[in-house]
Structure 1
Amino acid sequence: MKPRAGVGLTSIMVVLTVTTGMIEAVSFLVLGPVFTAVQTGNLLFLSFALTGAAGLSPAASGVSFAGFVVGAVLGSRFESGVDAHGRRWFGPALIVEAVLLGLGGLVAWRTGLDTPGALADGPHHVVIALVAVAMGMRNITTLRARVPDLPTTVSTRALTALLGGLAPHPDTRIGSGPADEGRRLASVGAMFAGGLLGAWLLVRVEVHPALVLLIPATLVLALGAGSWVLPRGRAPEPSESG
């Protein structure tokens, strides 16, 4: 059963975008450099690393890509199966994602993974795998939710549409209006804010990476539990925009 469209679902997607920025701060600054949600960047890292480029780990990028694939496949099967029985899949999917993120944080804590820029080794790869599986599932979840301009793990398209909509003669084919521009601005701003917060906690405050991972895990868990108790109702499919 599809989550009800509206301000509530849009707000959830904005918060999820913030968590992506925080997660990628840990991925890039502590686990990698590697991305676990933004697989476009990760695939480029993998291609660069395979040429022997300094400072990049083909193993870390490969583990991230493999974990993402597993998460996307399992997430699709899980959510489709729940939906086929007429049950709500959005909340449970977020809860499963939160558990995976929490496990990643727990492994980071128990293995003493707390040094930004350290050479990636076994514990790094375990955390990368868990977080990448969670992000693979996240992408399926947000793809199925279909909130325009808020995929939660990338902002390039939202930024492009935002700039196109603000042009003196906006392209009507990409959609333009206060609601469209507001979502796009929220998408870009949330990603930046999440990355800024995550990096600030890691670099300036020197918070343990495990705790920086557990913050998104807690937020996602709260969002999943909250969406599960929202009133039932199958919402109309939102139109594609941007």
Structure 2
Amino acid sequence: MKPRAGGVLTSIMVVLTMTTGMIEAVSFLALGPVFTAMQTGNLLLLAFALTGAAGLSPAAAGVSCAGFVVGAVLGSLLESSVDARERRWFAPALLAEGVLLGGGALVAWHGGVDGPPAGPVNGHHFGVIALVAAAMGVRNITTLRVRVPDVPTTLSTRALTAFVGGLPHVADPRIGAGARHEGRRFASIGAMFAGGLVGGWLLHEGVRPAVVLGVPCGLVLLLGFASWAVPARRTTEPG
């Protein structure tokens, strides 16, 4: 049973997009530089690191890629198995993602991860990177299954391109135009920026990375429990 399309689902996906900005602030500014959600950027960092570029860790980027793949596989298996029993898979997927994010926050807290390592990336940093990347792998599988137009939650390139392409006097009917489409795109872009801004500001003010990670973890878990608590007939449809 898939979540019912509409304003509520779109709002959930916008909130998830904001959490991506906060997560990547921690990933890039406190764990790496490395990305855990935006694997396009991470693959490029890996490529640059393998050429010997200063300040980049091929191990960190590789762990992120591996964690993301594992998360995507596990997310797909989880969601497909729940769906095969004709039950709601969206809430369990959010809860699984939240648990992985929480695991990353706990490892960061107990491992004393307070910023980029002074030397080579250590085990605690690798643990946080792997868990958060796995959570983002689950997230991306969920996003693909939900298919909310214009709100991919883990990247903004296509949303920004579509937003520009949908502006008056530029609008291309093949990519969709109008206030509804443009509103979703603008919300997606704004949420990513806001999440990155808040996450970066909190880290700049000395808030521990574990605490910053705890915010998206809490939001994702809250959305998961809320989705589960609402009666299925109001939130789902076949498919």
1:230 is matched with which residue? 230
1:217 is matched with which residue? 217
Residues 73-112 of structure 1 aligned to structure 2 (within 5 Å):
73-112=73-112
2:173 is matched with which residue? 172
Contact 1:29 1:117 in 2 (8 A): no
Of 223-232 and 121-130, the range deviating more from structure 2: 223-232
1:9 is matched with which residue? 9
Contact 1:3 1:9 in 2 (8 A): yes
Distance 1:193 1:154 in 2: 13
Give the residue type in structure 1 aligned to 2:138: M
Distance 1:27 1:215 in 2: 14
Give the residue type in structure 2 aligned to 1:230: V
Give the residue type in structure 1 aligned to 2:80: S
**Stretches of 4+ moved more than 4 A in 1?**
none
Deviations 1:113-158 (A, max 9, x none): 1124644211100000000000000000111011001110001000
Ranges in structure 2 where 5+ consecutive residues have no aligned partner? none
Deviations 1:4-60 (A, max 9, x none): 111110010000000000000000001000000000000000000011110100000
SS in 1 for 2:174: helix
Contact 2:75 2:93 in 1 (8 A): yes
Cα offset, 1:102, TM superposition: 0.5
1:57 is matched with which residue? 57
Contact 2:98 2:221 in 1 (8 A): yes
2:126 is matched with which residue? 125
Contact 1:5 1:236 in 2 (8 A): no
Distance 1:236 1:176 in 2: 28
Q: What's the TM-score once normalised by structure 1's chain length? A: 0.95
Contact 2:42 2:65 in 1 (8 A): yes
Distance 1:115 1:169 in 2: 44
Query: Could you say if the C-alpha distance between residues 206 and 88 of structure 1 is closer, same or farther in structure 2, counting changes exceeding 3 Å?
Result: same
Distance 1:136 1:87 in 2: 22
SS in 2 for 1:87: coil
Of 163-172 and 124-133, the range deviating more from structure 2: 163-172
Contact 2:13 2:153 in 1 (8 A): yes
Contact 1:108 1:210 in 2 (8 A): yes
Identity %: 70
1:156 is matched with which residue? 157
Q: What's the TM-score once normalised by structure 2's chain length? A: 0.96
2:200 is matched with which residue? 199
Give the residue type in structure 2 aligned to 1:139: N
SS in 1 for 2:3: coil
SS in 1 for 2:232: coil
SS in 1 for 2:63: helix
Cα offset, 1:213, TM superposition: 0.3
Distance 2:87 2:35 in 1: 32
SS in 2 for 1:181: helix
1:240 is matched with which residue? none
Distance 2:7 2:238 in 1: 14
Give the residue type in structure 2 aligned to 1:24: E
1:146 is matched with which residue? 147
Cα offset, 1:235, TM superposition: 3.5
CA RMSD in angstroms comes to 1.2
Ranges in structure 1 where 5+ consecutive residues have no aligned partner? 238-242
